[in-house]
Amino acid sequence: MNAFGRMLAQLRNDGGSSAMFLGVLTAVTLLAGFANLVFPEGSIFHVSTFTITLLGKYFCYALLALAVDVIWGYCGILSLGHGAFFALGGYCMGMYLMRQIGDRGVYGNPELPDFMVFLNWDALPWYWHGFDMFWFAMLMALIVPGVLAYVFGWLAFRSRVTGVYLSIMTQALTYALMLAFFRNEMGFGGNNGLTDFKDILGFNLQADSTRVTLFAISALMLGLAFIASRFIMQSRLGRVVLAIRDAESRARFLGYRTHDYKVWLFVFSALLAAIAGALYVPQVGIINPGEFAPLNSIELVVWVAVGGRGTLYGAVCGAILVNYAKSKFTALIPEGWIFMLGALFVVVTIFLPKGIVGLLNKRRRKNGTGGGTPLASAEAGA
Amino acid sequence: MLKTVRCIASVMALLVLAGGVAVAADAQSETTEEATATEVTSAEPQVDSVAVATVAIEARTVPDLLRDLAQASLNETPAIVDALASSGGLSMLPLFQAMLAGELYYERETLRILRIAENEAGDDVASDVLTDADLGPVNARDYRKVRINNRVRGQLRDAIARINLTEGSADQRRAAATAMLDGIDDSTVAAFEQALKTETDAQVRDVIEVGIAMAVLKSAATESEQLVALEQLDGRLEAPVRNLLTSIAESSGDGRPTAVQRQAAAIVSGINARIEHYQFLEQLFFGLSLGSVLLLAAIGLAVTFGVMGVINMAHGEMLMLGAYTTYVIQQLMPQSINLSIWVAIPSAFIVAALFGMLIQRFVIRYLAGRPLETLLATFGISLILQQSVRTIFSPLNRRVISPDWMSGSWQINPVLSLTNNRLYILAFSLIVFFILLLILKRTSLGLNVRAVSQNRDMARAMGIRTDIVDAMTFGLGSGIAGIAGVALSQLTNVGPNLGQQYIIDSFMVVVFGGVGNLFGTLLAAFSLGVANKFLEPVTGAVLANTFILIFIILFIQKRPKGLFPQKGRAAE
């Protein structure tokens, strides 16, 4: 009773911050897009296309962080392999963009992408068929990661693999996929991945308007994902998920089929990651097996940790903040960033278990201004 | 300049003439027994020319020939090598070997030929090709490499083999004879027959007789002679023998008796069966070798993760620290590489153990009971350690020199040879494993470790300082990882990413074997290693790795506690 009462209070309190979050997101998107398209280059109000693309990239990362927060912050499942779903979504989009190149590639083959011509392949592999259609590619961008997440989750959660074991297995999953995608024989461009994209749905990828549209779609998707996640977490389902995080066996004994909840939440999270990947690829213009690297997946966990897990907007802020710091740092002292990142892992876990959001809330509570959000203990004691 | 060119041209002409005459003379000597008096008479003018040519070669003494070698084009080199081989004999061996290894240089000004090679400290040092006298460090830029191509390489190998066949030790003679089996011709047979007269070693005689038998089969001998020769070749594993027999068995229409062909086919299938058997053994050895590396990498983890239940993502970096310790110690004592490894093993243990204890005291201790946070924090530490090493030692890979006794290989037969370093590491991993087992089962530290891991509160109530035991356990696990790093440095180059390659595999081994069970870790490491190596030829290395990972993922679904789950109260 007490726990439920606390949670209800938390949700009511969060209502305000959700609205604020969505408001800020809309404002930033509209202003940035407007400033890029309306004001001419050179004007002080002009936002360069580079910045727009950078922001779009950050929003994709934010969406990815949101995906991790949904399962880690709310359900206590620490996935170290979410980069895999992100990359799979990205590869599906990349395959569509690759087919769109048509005969404009270096070898001018209307059917085969350049790297296949280079490998002396004479026909498209079966799994490349259909990717010339946008709707099919987008469907696949959801289905492939979704099915993988379902199968993996079903296997893992049913046999009650939890905690650290699950983390390491997700890491092994993305590692295995990375090794597989590095192979030329896989038919996904091997080491180099897919690149040299020309246009999407007939729009030139280099054009400002396309860039701004992609950026706006990323923002829209981030907003929608936020609302959907918030909706799920506020529903009955969300409460069961929280119960699973805090005391899984107790929830199970109460009669909830906990593994079903976990599997579907995992699939939902994987879908968010896949959407992020599919939006990421046309904006950065390349997808390669490096995206599967375990380091990427674990780095995105630290975005969530820095922002504060279990709050959704905390994860988004963390992703944008850490990536902004990364861009600045790597430009300034390239070697320093890894030290920073490493220190971030240690400092956040020891001193800031609830992230920046938790720190701010604590300060607010201390000053007596406004009701803080008493986060349920985020210690995901496996 | 023009003068030198003309001089070389004339020398070349003479040499070509000499070569041609030498061949003619060879042909002459073979037919001597049947030669008639008239033929001998008719050959007399040629004999004269031979004498002239010989004089020409002898006039070109070894130093002259060396000077020619410096300037020779790739087309001219073979003739000079031949001349050197015939005039120098055994003394030419170091020259030929240096040339084959690409260490032969000449001074641009004086055309003097030298051997220049890197010494252990990485400096270029010159030495005389014939006397091997040390000429001190040189600047390689003042010298030019004597160029060789594959034709010259083959010729050099042949020349070295011929010299070794008569002058070398028993092992060298056998190796030389084996090498000469490839490309048997009349001159090889002559050399073999010559050698057989003085040869006393039974094994060398065997190889030489195989060579002669091969020559018989190649020539147009009678059926019975060929059958006798075939008997000689039965069960030999040398590649040239197999190639020859296969071609005999599969040839058609060259007038070979069918009995010989049938016999050859039978022998080939016997040989193939034996080769398959040995290839299986070789694969098994490679699998065990990979397993020993996995065992070394995972065994420290079996202590920290398996026994203590602390997940340490920086474990791979403990391997890396051990490997870099080996590198640093070699840099400190470049004169005694053989000794340095004995210093490196305890140093690596101490360095890695110290780092492990620091991590435990300052990070992991504060995260007790929060495994996911521990995972993240230790991952951060691994990033910091990697980047520190990259900053201090540069991101490039460093090479650790193996001691002499670890290099080389144990050649069991022509198709099966086991490399020494892998054999030593296999033994080393088992020794480390059993020492660890002894520590955990027979010392008071081990008793405390087991007590704390089974019931922390009860252990504390019994008066065990659990915080000290935690630090010691973590130090032990990390220290063993450091030792593993020493072993790894003997197999691969040492780089900042060394640990990364092993961390996931190590976790897989520990999880597969069953957490908290050292024998499970042992079995898991070797079975995964062997499985990987047997999958590799079928699927390719990368896919084999992927398959193994998928297999373990599926296996964990079925048996979440590994091969050997802990039973009783210690479980859960």
Please, which residues have CB within 8 angstroms of residue A154's CB and are 6 or more apart in sequence?
A: A259, A263
CB contact under 8 A, A302 and B363: no
Cα end-to-end distance, chain A, whole Å: 23
* Cross-chain CB nearest to B384 (options A173, A176, A342): A342
pLDDT band at B343 (very low <50, low <70, confident <90, very high): very high
Q: Which of A212, B275, B88 is nearest to B80 (CA)?
A: B88
Q: Which residue of A has its CA nearest to B558?
A: A159
CB contact under 8 A, A164 and B311: yes
CB contact under 8 A, B543 and A183: yes
pLDDT at A118: 85
A288 touches chain B (CB under 8 A): no
pLDDT band at A106 (very low <50, low <70, confident <90, very high): confident
In this structure, what are the phi and psi dihedrals at residue B308, rounded to the nearest 5 degrees? -85, -20
Q: Which residues of B touch A343 (CB under 8 A)?
A: 380, 384
As a whole number of angstroms, the distance between CA B99 and CA B146 comes to 8
Q: Most A CBs within 10 Å: which of B311, B382, B383, as the mutation test of the A interface?
A: B383
Q: Which residue of B has its CA nearest to A381?
A: B370
* Cross-chain CB nearest to B542 (options A171, A183, A305): A183
By mean pLDDT, which of A95-104, A279-288, B407-416 is the weakest? B407-416
User: Chain A, 16-75: which have a CB under 8 Å from a chain B CB?
Assistant: none
What integer is the mean pLDDT of B363-383?
88
* Cross-chain CB nearest to B504 (options A175, A339, A343): A175
- Name the one residue in this structure whose structure tokens are 């030792």: B483
What integer is the mean pLDDT of B186-211?
78
What integer is the mean pLDDT of A264-287?
95
The token pair that represents A263 in the structure block: 């599997």
| Rg of chain B on CA atoms, in Å | 32
How far away is chain B from the Cα of A115, in angstroms, using its nearest Cα? 20
Assess contact for B286 and B534: CB atoms under 8 A.
no
The helix/strand/coil state of B330 is helix
pLDDT at B566: 63
What integer is the mean pLDDT of A289-294?
92
What integer is the mean pLDDT of B215-234?
76
Q: Most A CBs within 10 Å: which of B313, B375, B561, as the mutation test of the A interface?
A: B375
As a whole number of angstroms, the distance between CA B450 and CA B436 comes to 13
As a whole number of angstroms, the distance between CA B374 and CA A353 comes to 12
Reply yes or no on whether the pLDDT at A380 is more than 70: no
How far away is chain A from the Cα of B437, in angstroms, using its nearest Cα? 25
- Name the one residue in this structure whose structure tokens are 């890029």: A36
* Torsional sign, CA B68, B71, B73, B78: positive
How far away is chain B from the Cα of A66, in angstroms, using its nearest Cα? 18
As a whole number of angstroms, the distance between CA B389 and CA B111 comes to 45
By mean pLDDT, which of A330-339, B14-23, B111-120 is the weakest? B14-23
In this structure, what are the phi and psi dihedrals at residue B118, rounded to the nearest 5 degrees? -80, 135
Whether ipTM > 0.90 holds is no
CB contact under 8 A, B379 and A164: no
What integer is the mean pLDDT of B527-539?
87
pLDDT band at B334 (very low <50, low <70, confident <90, very high): confident
**Structural domains of chain A, count:** 1
Cα end-to-end distance, chain B, whole Å: 88
* pLDDT, greater one: A361 or B567: A361
pLDDT band at B131 (very low <50, low <70, confident <90, very high): confident
At B237, the amino acid letter reads L
Task: Number of helices (H) and strands (E) in chain A: give both, helices first.
Answer: 14, 4
A331 touches chain B (CB under 8 A): no
High-pLDDT (> 70) share of chain A, %: 92
Reply yes or no on whether the pLDDT at B264 is more than 90: no
Within a domain: A375: no
CB contact under 8 A, A338 and B508: no
Reply yes or no on whether the pLDDT at A371 is more than 70: no
Q: Which domain holds residue A329?
A: 2-367
Assess contact for B529 and B290: CB atoms under 8 A.
yes
CB contact under 8 A, B556 and A169: yes
By mean pLDDT, which of A127-131, A170-174, B279-283, B564-568 is the weakest? B564-568
Please, which residues have CB within 8 angstroms of residue A116's CB and are 6 or more apart in sequence?
A: A109, A124, A187
High-pLDDT (> 90) share of chain B, %: 19
Q: Which residues of A touch B366 (CB under 8 A)?
A: 350
What integer is the mean pLDDT of B525-539?
88
Q: Across all residues in chain B, what is the average pLDDT?
A: 78
CB contact under 8 A, A349 and B376: yes
Q: Please, is B124 exposed, middle or buried when counting C-beta atoms within 10 Å of its C-beta (0-12, 13-18, 19+)?
A: middle
The token pair that represents A376 in the structure block: 């349920």
Give B32's DSSP letter: G
By mean pLDDT, which of A118-127, B242-251, B507-516 is the weakest? B242-251
Q: With 0.90 as the threshold, say if the pTM is over it.
A: no
User: Chains A, B: CB contacts under 8 A, how many?
Assistant: 127
As a whole number of angstroms, the distance between CA A104 and CA B348 comes to 56
The three state secondary structure string of A59-121 is HHHHHHHHHHHHHHHHHCCCCCCHHHHHHHHHHHHHHHHHHHHHHHCCCCCCCCCHHHHHCCC
* Cross-chain CB nearest to B383 (options A182, A301, A341): A341
* pLDDT, greater one: A16 or A281: A281
The token pair that represents B36 in the structure block: 């008639």
At B31, the amino acid letter reads T
pLDDT digits (tens, 9 = 90+) for A162-201: 788 788 888 888 988 998 898 888 889 888 899 888 888 8
CB contact under 8 A, A382 and B372: yes
Q: Most A CBs within 10 Å: which of B304, B363, B376, B390, as the mutation test of the A interface?
A: B376
pLDDT at B60: 65
The most confident of the ranges A22-31, A239-248, B15-24, B36-45 is A239-248
What integer is the mean pLDDT of B434-449?
91
- Residue extents of the structural domains in chain B: 188-256, 280-406+417-502
- Give, in order, the Cα–Cα distances in Å from B81 to each of B8, B74, B89, B101, B110: 15, 11, 12, 15, 20
Reply yes or no on whether the pLDDT at A306 is more than 70: yes
At B534, the amino acid letter reads F
What integer is the mean pLDDT of B437-465?
89
In this structure, what are the phi and psi dihedrals at residue B168, rounded to the nearest 5 degrees? -75, 180
pLDDT at B79: 79
- Give, in order, the Cα–Cα distances in Å from B534 to each of B280, B288, B506, B547: 9, 11, 19, 12
Assess contact for A272 and A64: CB atoms under 8 A.
yes
Within a domain: A372: no
Give B90's DSSP letter: G
Reply yes or no on whether the pLDDT at A269 is more than 70: yes
By mean pLDDT, which of A6-15, A304-313, B146-155, B303-312 is the weakest? A6-15
User: Chain A, 64-83: which have a CB under 8 Å from a chain B CB?
Assistant: 76, 78, 80
Q: Please, is B410 exposed, middle or buried when counting C-beta atoms within 10 Å of its C-beta (0-12, 13-18, 19+)?
A: exposed
Reply yes or no on whether the pLDDT at B364 is more than 70: yes
The three state secondary structure string of B15-51 is HHHHHHHHHHHHHHHHCHHHCCHHHHHHHHHHHHHHH
As a whole number of angstroms, the distance between CA B501 and CA A141 comes to 30
CB contact under 8 A, A338 and B367: no
pLDDT band at B50 (very low <50, low <70, confident <90, very high): very low
Within a domain: A377: no
pLDDT at A15: 55
Q: Which residue of A has its CA nearest to B372?
A: A164
Q: Which residue of A has its CA nearest to B394?
A: A335
CB contact under 8 A, B384 and A155: no
Reply yes or no on whether the pLDDT at B45 is more than 50: no
pLDDT band at B292 (very low <50, low <70, confident <90, very high): very high
* Cross-chain CB nearest to B511 (options A168, A179, A302): A168
Q: Across all residues in chain A, what is the average pLDDT?
A: 86
pLDDT band at B207 (very low <50, low <70, confident <90, very high): confident
CB contact under 8 A, B384 and A343: yes
Q: Which residue of B has its CA nearest to A185?
A: B543
Give B305's DSSP letter: I
Reply yes or no on whether the pLDDT at B323 is more than 80: yes
E strand or H helix at B105, and its extent?
A: strand B104-107
Q: Which residue of A has its CA nearest to B505?
A: A172
* pLDDT, greater one: A119 or B572: A119
- Give, in order, the Cα–Cα distances in Å from B285 to each of B176, B280, B403, B530: 27, 9, 22, 8
- Give, in order, the Cα–Cα distances in Å from B263 to each of A358, B165, B210, B250, B272: 85, 31, 16, 12, 14
Q: Most B CBs within 10 Å: which of A154, A341, A349, as the mutation test of the B interface?
A: A349
pLDDT band at B114 (very low <50, low <70, confident <90, very high): confident
Q: Which residues of B touch A180 (CB under 8 A)?
A: 542-543, 546
* Cross-chain CB nearest to B504 (options A78, A171, A182): A171
Q: Which residues of A touch B556 (CB under 8 A)?
A: 159, 161, 165, 169
pLDDT digits (tens, 9 = 90+) for A13-27: 555 777 788 888 888
Q: A68 — alpha (psi -120 to 50), left (phi > 0) or beta?
A: alpha
Could you give the residue ranges of the DSSP H alpha helices within B314-417? Answer: 315-332, 337-362, 371-393
Chain B residues touching chain A at CB-CB below 8 Å = 311, 363, 366-367, 369-377, 379-384, 386-388, 390-391, 504, 507-508, 511, 540, 542-543, 545-546, 549-550, 552-554, 556-558, 560
What integer is the mean pLDDT of B296-308?
85
